[in-house]
Chain A
Amino acid sequence: QSALTQPASMSGSPGQSITISCTGTSSDIGGYNYVSWYQRHPGKGPKLIIYDVNNRPSGVSDRFSASKSGNTASLTISGLQAEDEADYYCSSYTHSRPLFGGGTKLTVL
């Protein structure tokens, strides 16, 4: 099964908001409310920032929000900060395994 589809790169200026999309199918994103998002800075392991489509783990900034519509999930980062520059990955449950997106490299200009 193919990976979920994300834009390869996005950019924004400090203070702006950006939305990263993640497109799947009715067998993954569209079929379950088990979507998560991860942030990864260079040289580090990923960090869980969203689970259950739109829930933030304790300690994650409320500048991160997410949603799902049909087969597409979205991550919105508001009030962009320099520290938000990282790679972002979506993931969805499907048939007793996780499926990941290819990742989006976010550059804060």
Chain B
Amino acid sequence: QVELVQSGAEVRKPGASVKVSCKASGYSFTNYYIHWVRQAPGQGLEWMGRINPGGTGIIYAHNFQGRVTLTRDTSTTTVYMELSSLRSEDTAVYYCAKDRNDFWSGSLYYFDYWGQGTLVTVSS
């Protein structure tokens, strides 16, 4: 069965960076985009970007350009999200999510499987 398992909670000071992992299993890893979505306390969901595990296609949301980096390791079927220059407003639960459409069908931004979420707390 499809499963996305994320790394554990993190605490960082303002200005630091954090790297969250998302290990995928149960499907063809290189055929589907992986997206990252976050939810800050009391806020809605916010899309951060997507990566094509099978190639070079990476798109970042405008709000995170220059601060977020998505990478992948096909040997371990793991995707990573690194967020730098952290500020208190980045305190949130971060999710990875698998695209429902395969790469060739094109993404309509439907996410059919999600990780369990990783709480990142930014505090001095």
Contact = CB atoms under 8 A, between A and B. Distances in A.
A, B: real partners: yes
A45 B46 contact: no
Interface SS of B by simple majority: strand
A76 to B, nearest CB: 19
B32 to A, nearest CB: 14
Contacts of A57: 100, 112
B39 to A, nearest CB: 8
Interface residues of B, number: 22
A60 to B, nearest CB: 11
Contact of A45 (B47, B100, B117): B117
Contact of B112 (A3, A48, A97, A103): A48
Contacts of B116: 43-45
Interface stretch (A10-18, A61-69, A78-86, A88-96): A88-96
Interface residues of A, number: 24
Given A3-B44, A51-B100, A91-B109, A97 B61 contact: yes
B43 interface: yes
Interface string B104-121: 000011111111110000
Interface SS of A by simple majority: strand
Interface of A: 3, 34, 36, 38, 43-48, 51-52, 57, 89, 91, 93, 96-103
Interface of B: 4, 37, 43-47, 59, 61, 95, 97, 100, 108-117
25 contacts: A34-B108, A36-B109, A36-B110, A43-B117, A44-B117, A45-B95, A45-B113, A45-B117, A46-B45, A46-B95, A46-B111, A51-B108, A52-B108, A57-B112, A89-B44, A89-B45, A91-B45, A91-B109, A93-B108, A97-B59, A98-B109, A99-B47, A101-B44, A102-B43, A102-B44
